[in-house]
Chain A
Amino acid sequence: MVVVDSQSPPKFGDYEAQRHWMEITLNLPVLEWYRNSTGNDLSYWGLDYPPLTAYQSYFHGLFLRFFDPDSVSLFTSRGYETYVGKLLMRWTVLSSDTLIFFPAIFYFAFVYHSSCHSSRKNDCAWHIAMLLLNPCLILIDHGHFQYNCISLGLTVAAIAAILSQRELLASCLFTLALSHKQMSVYYAPAFFSHLLGKCLRRKNPIHGVAKLGLTVLGTFTVVWWPYLHSTDALLGVLSRLAPFERGIYEDYVANFWCTSSVIIKWKRLFSVHSLKFISLTATVLTCLPSMVQQVMAPSSRGFLYGLLNSSFAFYLFSFQVHEKSILLPLLPASLLALEERRPFKWLMFYGLFSMFPLLCRDKLVLPYFALHALFMLLYHAPCGHGGRPRNARPNNTKFDYFDSFKTFMNGFIYLSSFILHIVYLTMHPPEKFPYLFEAIIMLICFYQFALLAFYTNVKQWSLLEHSTTEEEKKLI
């Protein structure tokens, strides 16, 4: 299905940043891209993604220069916004999506459904629709303007490669994803632990680890080659990738630090340095259970859960998390959509909700509601079995009370969230608390994310007990 390009005006933020990167990479030599100079003023939307983004900007810049040279000329094109320029930029995102993300999804769907003997054509089609028509991704990439489709596409291809036992290919692809956006590091613990677990089970673990290590290092060298001649250049790039001085959180993202800052004022109590250490420890500790499970009993299904858990851990506890980072846990949740239908729907709903204030600022309210509605309609498609769990447990009267309470709570929170949408759009917050509504949205979303993260961690650990069941044998 074709992705509908939302025709809203591009934002001066990310749109201008991407255009500026095309300008810089086209007109300046490679070594200057991350260095402050007269040609490249880093305080004006300096490059803060790894080199693969820079190379991609270069290619897109070539495309733009062919059709509209004024949009990428050095200095004079700052703030350049014409109809043709906007159209070309949107086409670069659309083409990246179609050329990288879509094939990766098809590869994954092919591998996943060929190994899952009980899957039907309906389920496969439903699954692909859920993956490709991810409203969050569409709104962020095509509305807000970013290139997440490339790094996510590479990651999905890497995941598919792991599922089809091509580990070297997987590590190569994941390294490329990491070199495109450093946020892909959210998935790194899962990849690492799964591959390590797999290697340890083989006859010659050191050999396996060495092969993987060499692939990773080799790919890194190829991509980062221009910056490897001196430590200065390398550190210059790395320092751009991790802007710690921006603080532990910004705006109102539904993660632990921002939500708890309502009570504990982290920024006031601790310095940036100590906060770095605290958040690192918290992230590692939250990742640990999932990593340990994979090292002990690596499996394809466990790997998918591991991805979900490690990305959740990073989202909830990492440094400088954006609202847009909810895309990262959403990806493995969509990959697992057939196994975890309701949690997937929850996560999508609350992920979109957590981005609602951001999208309102971007004037994407209509696309938000239209795409959200489209997603819900496709989820509950009459031909599929949306909403019903695949392996439904037989009804047990003992749990009825708890189930109905859960249903009531869920329904209540859904309704409150829906009402909050309307309230946010129509009412003004009180003078004393200008960000009251954002804070309430953040609290609700954090509560849901925390619950889901806990649930998926438990689910992954429960796989250890079932490590010899049929399902496991089918998927390995």
Chain B
Amino acid sequence: MESSSSTRQLLWFFAIAVCVKLLLIPAYHSTDFEVHRHWLALTHSLPLSNWYADETSPWTLDYPPFFACFERFLSIFAHYIDPQIVDLHNGLNYRANSAIYFLRISVILSDLWLLYGVYRLTKNADVKRRYLIWVLIVWSPALVMVDHLHFQYNGFLLGWLLLSISFLQEGKDLMGGFLFAVLLCFKHLFAVAAPVYFVYLLRHYCWKGLVRGFSRLSVLGAVVVAVFAAAYGPFLYHGQIQQVFNRMFPFGRGLCHAYWAPNFWVFYIILDKVFSFFLKKFGFSIQIPAASFTGGLVGDSSPFAVLPKVIACNRLKQYLKKKKKTQWTWCKFLTT
């Protein structure tokens, strides 16, 4: 009785959010809309071996294979509703109502997975905490703005994360680890949580004496490897692994994205600007490209005027050569 009424209440929260999201359908959307529409077309029209090699549009596939499969799944319905949505060439920049409604509603429906994750996570929480979590997640304005205005599928991905955490909470570590591995094959950005997972699973699941611990470690390792094999196996078979990684980790784009994330590198940029300003005042000839960091363009590296350019691979190689400071490498590697 208690759980059915709480399920009803959760559905009520979700329904309210859906109404607001429906009202946002005709609103602004960014280029990410065209990105996802193109990926629907890409995965629908081309065989697997061409997914990461195709250059029809500047919006190339840069998410791991499971997400591409997800787009393939959606494209089945898109094709049924309006074939032009998934047309590789004629669908470029397609803005008809059918495309907009289909894509927007697909995000709204994929949020059901987030709902399931939230439900599982808060099943055993007390009422006040449950409501708080529901309000913060289901009605999160940031998530609504990014997913339903700017256009992304983060709700769906966060659903996997919450699901994984809910299993860890219940003590089912293997399942939690498995789901996290699956999530990594959806969006590699979540690898920022990998160290935490690694340490937690190692300590909580595998630290059970020599034999048992080692066998558990092997099982966990096998599961993760199996997931990654399922995702990247086909591309390994086609000999495209290098291309896939190039697409997933576009280091050529430079240290900072066109729109700055409020992270540590902002200070680096500011320092560079300050140096270039003062050095120029003192008569040095410094080439300062106009609006190199705020121009909003995604291109091949935004140049630093004074300080050395931070290139991931160089640093990576240097550090791996010099010391095994894996934490530091992760930081640099993941903030590019």
Q: Which residues of A contact B (CB under 8 A)?
A: 4, 6-8, 366-367, 369-371, 373-374, 377-378, 380-382
- Report the 7 A-B pairs with minimum CB-CB distance, sorted nearest first: A374-B19, A370-B22, A382-B9, A370-B23, A7-B27, A4-B23, A370-B19
Contact, CB under 8 Å: B26 / A8: yes
Check if B16 is an interface residue, CB within 8 A of chain A.
Answer: yes
Contact, CB under 8 Å: B19 / A377: yes
Q: How long is the Cα–Cα vector from A6 to B20 in the complex, in angstroms?
A: 10
Among B5, B9, B16, B26, contact of A378 (Cβ-Cβ < 8 Å): B16
Q: Contacts A377-B12, A381-B12, A382-B8 hold; do A371 and B19 have CB atoms under 8 A apart?
A: yes
Among A4, A8, A369, A382, contact of B12 (Cβ-Cβ < 8 Å): A382
Contact, CB under 8 Å: A6 / B23: yes
For B9, B26, B28, which residue has the most chain A Cβ atoms within 10 angstroms? B26
Offer 16 A-B interface pairs, CB within 8 angstroms, sorted by A. A4-B23, A4-B24, A6-B26, A7-B26, A8-B26, A366-B23, A366-B26, A367-B23, A369-B22, A370-B22, A371-B23, A373-B19, A374-B20, A377-B12, A377-B15, A377-B19
Q: Which residue of A lies closest to B25 (CB)?
A: A366
Contact, CB under 8 Å: B23 / A377: no
CB distance from A122 to the nearest CB of B (A): 14
For B28, list chain A residues within 8 Å (CB): 7
Contact, CB under 8 Å: A366 / B22: yes
For B12, B20, B23, B27, which residue has the most chain A Cβ atoms within 10 angstroms? B23
Q: How long is the Cα–Cα vector from A413 to B296 in the complex, in angstroms?
A: 56
Number of interface residues of B (CB under 8 A): 15
Q: How long is the Cα–Cα vector from A374 to B26 in the complex, in angstroms?
A: 18
Q: Which residues of B contact A (CB under 8 A)?
A: 5, 8-9, 12, 15-16, 19-20, 22-28
Q: How long is the Cα–Cα vector from A378 to B16 in the complex, in angstroms?
A: 8
Among A4, A369, A381, contact of B20 (Cβ-Cβ < 8 Å): A4
For B5, list chain A residues within 8 Å (CB): 382
Q: How long is the Cα–Cα vector from A289 to B289 in the complex, in angstroms?
A: 80
Q: How long is the Cα–Cα vector from A123 to B25 in the complex, in angstroms?
A: 32
Q: How long is the Cα–Cα vector from A7 to B19 in the complex, in angstroms?
A: 14
For A378, list chain B residues within 8 Å (CB): 16
Q: Which residue of A lies closest to B6 (CB)?
A: A382
Q: How long is the Cα–Cα vector from A367 to B27 in the complex, in angstroms?
A: 12
CB distance from A323 to the nearest CB of B (A): 22
Given A366-B23, A373-B22, A382-B8, 18 new contacts (CB under 8 A):
A4-B23, A6-B26, A7-B26, A7-B27, A7-B28, A366-B26, A367-B23, A370-B19, A370-B23, A371-B19, A373-B15, A373-B19, A374-B19, A377-B12, A377-B16, A378-B16, A380-B12, A382-B5
Q: How long is the Cα–Cα vector from A378 to B19 in the complex, in angstroms?
A: 11
For B9, list chain A residues within 8 Å (CB): 382
Q: How long is the Cα–Cα vector from A76 to B226 in the complex, in angstroms?
A: 70
Q: How long is the Cα–Cα vector from A210 to B184 in the complex, in angstroms?
A: 79
For B5, B20, B22, which residue has the most chain A Cβ atoms within 10 angstroms? B22
CB distance from A134 to the nearest CB of B (A): 15
For A377, list chain B residues within 8 Å (CB): 12, 15-16, 19
Q: Which residue of A lies closest to B12 (CB)?
A: A382
Q: Which residue of B lies closest to A138 (CB)?
A: B23
Q: How long is the Cα–Cα vector from A370 to B26 in the complex, in angstroms?
A: 13
CB distance from A366 to the nearest CB of B (A): 6
Q: How long is the Cα–Cα vector from A374 to B22 in the complex, in angstroms?
A: 10
For B16, list chain A residues within 8 Å (CB): 374, 377-378
Q: How long is the Cα–Cα vector from A91 to B25 in the complex, in angstroms?
A: 20
Q: How long is the Cα–Cα vector from A367 to B12 in the complex, in angstroms?
A: 19
Q: How long is the Cα–Cα vector from A8 to B8 in the complex, in angstroms?
A: 32
Q: How long is the Cα–Cα vector from A382 to B134 in the complex, in angstroms?
A: 14
CB distance from B208 to the nearest CB of A (A): 44
Q: How long is the Cα–Cα vector from A366 to B20 in the complex, in angstroms?
A: 11
Q: How long is the Cα–Cα vector from A7 to B27 in the complex, in angstroms?
A: 6
Q: How long is the Cα–Cα vector from A373 to B28 in the complex, in angstroms?
A: 23
Q: How long is the Cα–Cα vector from A381 to B8 in the complex, in angstroms?
A: 11
Q: How long is the Cα–Cα vector from A449 to B54 in the complex, in angstroms?
A: 62
For A367, list chain B residues within 8 Å (CB): 23
Q: How long is the Cα–Cα vector from A8 to B23 in the complex, in angstroms?
A: 10
Q: Which residue of B lies closest to A6 (CB)?
A: B23
Q: How long is the Cα–Cα vector from A367 to B20 in the complex, in angstroms?
A: 9
For B26, list chain A residues within 8 Å (CB): 6-8, 366
For A380, list chain B residues within 8 Å (CB): 12
Q: How long is the Cα–Cα vector from A369 to B19 in the complex, in angstroms?
A: 9
For B9, B15, B19, B20, which residue has the most chain A Cβ atoms within 10 angstroms? B19
Q: Which residue of B lies closest to A372 (CB)?
A: B19
CB distance from B294 to the nearest CB of A (A): 23
Q: Which residue of A lies closest to B27 (CB)?
A: A7
Q: How long is the Cα–Cα vector from A369 to B101 in the complex, in angstroms?
A: 15
CB distance from A11 to the nearest CB of B (A): 15
For B24, list chain A residues within 8 Å (CB): 4
Q: How long is the Cα–Cα vector from A4 to B8 in the complex, in angstroms?
A: 25
Q: How long is the Cα–Cα vector from A421 to B327 in the complex, in angstroms?
A: 60
Q: Which residue of B lies closest to A8 (CB)?
A: B26
CB distance from B8 to the nearest CB of A (A): 7
Q: How long is the Cα–Cα vector from A369 to B25 in the complex, in angstroms?
A: 13
Q: How long is the Cα–Cα vector from A34 to B26 in the complex, in angstroms?
A: 38
CB distance from A340 to the nearest CB of B (A): 24
